[in-house]
Amino acid sequence: MKPLIVLNLKTYLEGTGEGAVRIARACKEVGEASGIEIAIAPQFCDIYRVASQVDVPVYSQHLDGVGAGSFTGHAFAKCIKDAGAVGTLINHSECRLKLADIEASVTAAKGEGLRTIICTNNIATTAAAAALGPDYVAVEPPELIGSGIPVSKADPEVVTGSVAAVERIDKAVKVLCGAGISKGEDLKAAIELGSVGVLLASGIVKAKDPKAALEDLVSLI
């Protein structure tokens, strides 16, 4: 099984507007050359811009569990799907939700056929997330996000423990890991710990040459 790499552009200026498109093209080129699926999660305003110009899997950075109606300011699953996204992040550490809201978001996303990645911060929350039946859980200790210190080195037990916990609950759910991931050795270690891929951001988005950084990331797989 080839790894899945999900690149979160957050609100980094380097990943906005045409910058998002340039990074998406780098994801497509490196993904095609390596045979690895590399998806991108731009800001809401850039989902259509990226999806309409680059043939790359696009994820929303968030999705609310609301339907059509009076929900001003919410991220509506149907509109996210119509904009060209194939999936969504849910409960990122920078956009935390209560458990009931996470479940509602997963249900809304599934209703539109969107893939779901629930972000978690430890083994216990990973187990709880797996019980909601997403496609993936992405475990990211918040203290390591953006640190440059990969979770696969700083806290490998949170990855192996999350993989074991998810397998006990729902074997169909796959585990990604994140926080501090930026180099080929980080992705290799993540796979060796039992995850099927990584969720990452600044190590690629803020690199001087995002394409070269992506090429390094996949170089050992």
Query: Does residue 92 carry a catalytic annotation?
Result: yes
Nearest to 40 by CA among 123, 126, 117, 143: 117
Please name which of 44, 104, 112, 48 lies closest in space to residue 75, comparing C-alpha atoms: 44
In a 13 Å sphere around the CA of 49, the CA atoms on its Cβ side amount to: 16
Q: Name the active-site residue from 74, 92, 94, 157.
A: 92
With 0-12 / 13-18 / 19 or more C-beta atoms within 10 angstroms meaning exposed / middle / buried, residue 170 is middle
Active-site option among 32, 140, 185, 215:
140
157 catalytic residue (yes or no): no
The DSSP-derived string for 25-75 is HHHHHHHHHHT-EEEEE--HHHHHHHHHH--S-BEES---S--SSS-TT--
**Token pair in block for residue 168:** 């006990």
Per DSSP, 181 falls in state -
Q: Which residues are catalytic?
A: 92, 140
